[in-house]
Amino acid sequence: MTATSPAPIVVTGTAGFIGYHTALALIDAGRPVVGIDNVNAYYDVRLKRARLQRLHDAGNFTFHEFDLKEHERVRQVVGECCTPCVIHLAAQAGVRWSIDHPFDYVDANLTGFLAILEACRHEGVGNLIYASSSSVYGANLELPFSTEHNVDHPISLYAATKKANEAMAHSYSHLYRLPTTGLRFFTVYGPWGRPDMAMWKFAAAITAGKPIQLYNHGRMQRDFTYVDDIVESIVRLADLPAQPDPMWTGHAPRPATSAAPWRVYNIGNHSPVQVEYVVDLLETHLGRKATREYVDMQPGDVPATFADVTALTEATGFTPSTSIENGVSRFAAWYLDYHRA
């Protein structure tokens, strides 16, 4: 780093879907990135390595491969690069995986996040952004989901760990004045996505001529959010550390703000669509028909998600807006090219 070049931003989870896209966007904007990832085998490691190679090819990227449980190494990396901002996107993902593998979520999502909080606290980081999830809304049925809603009833361990992250962040914001911003992502999809997520799973089944299971007998709705909209929101917030809310009071506490420098935002397309319609679009762009199986709801699932993004728009001036038709078209084109390669 020269005297005139910007300090690097630390991004965890850079071998992952959103972490890769976020790091690439920062690099493209002239911001050096220091990445951390343990490159675990939750899904195809070759895909993760391919993402990392593209980041190395882009330049201005330094990568450290280790687990966040190694808290002393986390602090060392954060401290050595004098970063003004940490974007924490590493996590053990997946609602259904958490049913059978609960300890994975404690290790990655709780212990790993604590290591990030401690590093940011001790190394004087001025802005911590971290991934939460729309799953924190749990048993809440009031739509659209608003950051002003209560999130005290998670219905999966994955959701519980994300709610815990928000609470842990608040304690550090209160005790140490560490600015923290939690981002509740809504069903992210796009090129270089995850094979365990619906969009990829549907595309894989359609191209292989295998049946697709549609939960809740085809009546599921999701607020599908294109990855570029997620990344644009993150990049804008990287320069907007959370500030205390001067109107906040413990007599009538607002759930999304605090007297501490702590905020949470929804990032979603604020336009839920029937999951079955997404299958229709994939059929069109992949050039094959799907075999559909209608099955019951799965444990930990909710029938619909719908993001109220008013607070995000007010804070950043940006509103996610990529249509599902445009987004699925881009994803399908990438998916076919990737598998041909």
Known catalytic residues are: 158
329: region left, alpha or beta (phi > 0 left; psi from -120 to 50 alpha) = alpha
Short-list 78, 89, 112, CA closest to 9: 78
145: region left, alpha or beta (phi > 0 left; psi from -120 to 50 alpha) = beta
d(Cα 316, Cα 239) in Å, to the nearest integer?
A: 10
d(Cα 136, Cα 150) in Å, to the nearest integer?
A: 9
**Helical pair 17-28 and 227-237, crossing angle rounded to 10 deg:** 60
Specify the 3-state DSSP secondary structure of 69. coil
d(Cα 77, Cα 9) in Å, to the nearest integer?
A: 11
d(Cα 15, Cα 63) in Å, to the nearest integer?
A: 10
d(Cα 264, Cα 122) in Å, to the nearest integer?
A: 23
Q: Compute the 3-state secondary structure of the chain and give helix, strand, coil in percent, each to the nearest 5.
A: 45, 15, 40
Short-list 92, 124, 131, CA closest to 108: 92
Tell me, rounded to whole angstroms, the distance of Cα 123 from its chain centroid. 24
Residue 256 structure tokens = 């999304």
